[in-house]
Structure 1
């Protein structure tokens, strides 16, 4: 018996077992599940999981699109994936903010989303703003790859104070000052839409 696992580009895991004498893995009788072939969702994409997206604009100017951030809820966590082009090289901070507005160079988006009223101690701590998504690194040519997973927010529970669809996403220069909650200048933003 031989077990074979394939991890494809679309983050779907195909698993099957070949028993001795079997040449067709799809018709294998010694399988983990009765369905053949069996697919296990390991990440993006998936058809039945809540999704959202945010088009990101430089300084909130809708004529200057930098890219799209895709959000998908998978196994109780929200996965953020995307590519932005045109940010200045270095570290930036990604936050979900309270108000779905892009005006005034993204300042109209309001403060980072904080329904639990926590003092922000940083992304990797329990005590943080719900909207604090941590840092991004933009490469020297202005390309920013985004792949983050956040277990504290939701796209599916509309009644929850952790529901973020309809809020804004803001990119700020520099990392958050973890001692006093100050953030750097806002340079890009978008609205999370279904």
Structure 2
């Protein structure tokens, strides 16, 4: 990390950071207010999360990623843009969801461009698989949204099959969804589009 990111991580983690400790979070206390919460799994460098949070001040955004420079960048963006509705966790998303988020506590979960693990022998590492989807779904409020996006066509097909098979989820569209206006185009996505890759959005709601 460069000096800017190192400074942001050290200085801002006590302000906006969320330790992945295994202790159940009181989201109202964490954000200093009671409001619907969006969980951003795999927030990358944080630009999309910061943009969505800035455009959606009535909801709180909890971002989690294992990429330290990305977490540091999101912390810096949160401070620079004065985003009181963003909190940031460095660690494993499934550990955070499983141990620190109560059932029926999230208004939405975003999984944008997760690692596709393209080799067949690595597919078991993919985030969107039945047991993980069951866990994520349990943390959504009834009517809450699970929104995934990927530019890996085979992963998109697997996502659609997995999400459609979960009895607690309803597809909000007939198959893939058009990109909602609230999901910003990131530099990562733009590079993929320029390389000729299609982008697939999947928007499901909990029953």
Question: Is the TM-score greater than 0.5?
Answer: no
Q: What TM-score bracket applies, with the shorter chain setting the length?
A: under 0.3
Higher helix share: 2
Normalized against structure 2, the TM-score is what?
Answer: 0.24
